[in-house]
């Protein structure tokens, strides 16, 4: 890393911090919390052999829609008033352009722009399309423009998605027709990213611009690291952010639409995944120790002026308790045991 490299990296980091301070101060204010959470998760999950598998197509469109309806009713039958409208009002659309390869991949999404809402389900016509539709419908049902919705919408949708998988297994569906390791694998991937990036964000936050001596702070306050590894990491981050800027400029030059501002794109690379990681772990916790009605109850508070700690208490999750991490680990063990054959009845509203 040359001085010019450090200068450019610090310019990027400054843009990221300015953007996040305006748009996601929760992440900036809790970086140490997520650093600890990601480290603990990686240590715990390393003993498990997690796998994705190829899921065969086995359902029709009507079957996907009807099975999802049954699960939505089990979550909260009041949601059926909205679910029964999504075909007629054009909210639900199917996209068949799934990616090909060793595994077909759903790239579904809920979008809400200027009051226009849509659920796009890119389907493989299998039971994972059911769990995905449950996930995206919960985004739809809880759509509101609040910071709490931004922070917790993935937790709510992931919890209902995983509830749907367990519902299907309890109904007699072969577990091998479901990607039951999916969220554990996602959480592991994101935890690695958090674990990598966050020590450099904390360093920048506490001491300002990074330089060749930054490894000393990390050694003393975060984790052991050599000067060579520190410089290699900084160069890696710089290279990623430069590529993001190059792509942004390319899209501007050729008038390619639907991209955000440069500072948003750079920040997305660094911080976007934490809401999914947080949501994954909280969903395991809630499904192990609580029931789905607690998730439904939380939905009623997303537009209220609660801080995140008090808001999560509405669904009986206490993230400040001393045994919180132990409960997370126990809930992950419960998840794995469930798919090892120890299925249990699910409570519903």
Identify whether the C-beta of residue 334 lies closer than 8 Å to the C-beta of residue 285: no
pTM of the model: 0.90
DSSP state of 112: E
Q: Quote the tokens at residue 334.
A: 């419960």
Instruction: Let me know the angle formed at the C-alpha of 98 by 190 and 49, rounded to the nearest 5 degrees.
Output: 40
Distance of alpha carbon 221 from the chain centroid: 28
Tens-of-pLDDT digits for all 349 residues of the chain? 999 999 999 999 999 999 999 999 999 999 999 999 999 999 999 999 999 999 988 999 999 999 999 999 999 999 999 999 998 888 888 776 544 444 444 467 778 766 778 888 876 789 999 999 999 999 999 888 888 889 999 999 999 999 999 999 999 999 999 999 999 999 999 999 999 999 999 999 999 999 999 999 998 888 899 999 999 999 999 999 999 999 999 988 888 776 789 999 999 999 989 999 999 999 999 999 998 999 999 988 888 888 999 999 988 999 999 999 999 999 999 999 999 865 454 554 4
β-strands 109-113, 116-122: how paired?
antiparallel
> Is 156 in contact with 60 (CB distance < 8 Å)?
no
Tokens of 198: 């966050």
């Amino acid at each position: 890393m040359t001085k010019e490299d450090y200068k450019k990296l610090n310019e990027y980091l400054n843009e990221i911090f300015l953007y996040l301070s305006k748009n996601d101060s929760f992440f900036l204010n809790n970086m140490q919390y997520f650093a600890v959470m990601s480290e603990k998760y990686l240590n715990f999950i390393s003993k498990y052999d997690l796998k994705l598998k190829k899921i065969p197509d086995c359902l029709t469109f009507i079957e996907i829609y009807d099975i999802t309806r049954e699960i939505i009713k089990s979550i909260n039958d009041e949601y059926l008033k909205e679910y029964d409208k999504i075909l007629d009002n054009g909210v639900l659309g199917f996209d068949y352009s799934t990616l090909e390869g060793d595994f077909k991949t759903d790239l579904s999404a809920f979008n809400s722009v200027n009051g226009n809402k849509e659920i796009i389900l890119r389907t493989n016509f299998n039971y994972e399309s059911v769990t995905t539709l449950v996930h995206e419908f919960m985004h739809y049902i809880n759509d509101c423009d609040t910071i709490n919705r931004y922070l917790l919408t993935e937790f709510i949708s992931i919890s209902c998605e995983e509830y749907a998988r367990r519902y299907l297994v309890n109904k007699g569906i072969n577990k091998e027709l479901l990607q039951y390791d999916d969220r554990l694998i996602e959480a592991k991937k994101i935890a690695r990213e958090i674990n990598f990036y966050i020590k450099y964000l904390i360093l920048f936050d506490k001491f300002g611009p990074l330089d060749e001596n930054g490894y000393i702070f990390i050694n003393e306050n975060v984790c052991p690291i050599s000067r060579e590894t520190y410089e290699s990491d900084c160069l890696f981050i710089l290279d990623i952010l430069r590529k993001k800027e190059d792509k942004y400029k390319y899209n501007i030059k050729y008038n390619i639409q639907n991209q955000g501002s440069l500072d948003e794109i750079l920040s997305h690379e660094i911080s976007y995944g934490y809401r999914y990681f947080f949501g994954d772990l909280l969903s395991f916790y809630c499904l192990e120790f609580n029931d789905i009605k607690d998730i439904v109850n939380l939905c009623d508070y997303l537009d209220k002026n609660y801080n995140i700690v008090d808001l999560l208490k509405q669904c009986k999750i206490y993230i400040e308790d001393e045994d919180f991490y132990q409960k997370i680990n126990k809930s992950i063990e419960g998840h794995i045991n469930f798919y090892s054959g120890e299925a249990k009845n699910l409570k519903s509203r």
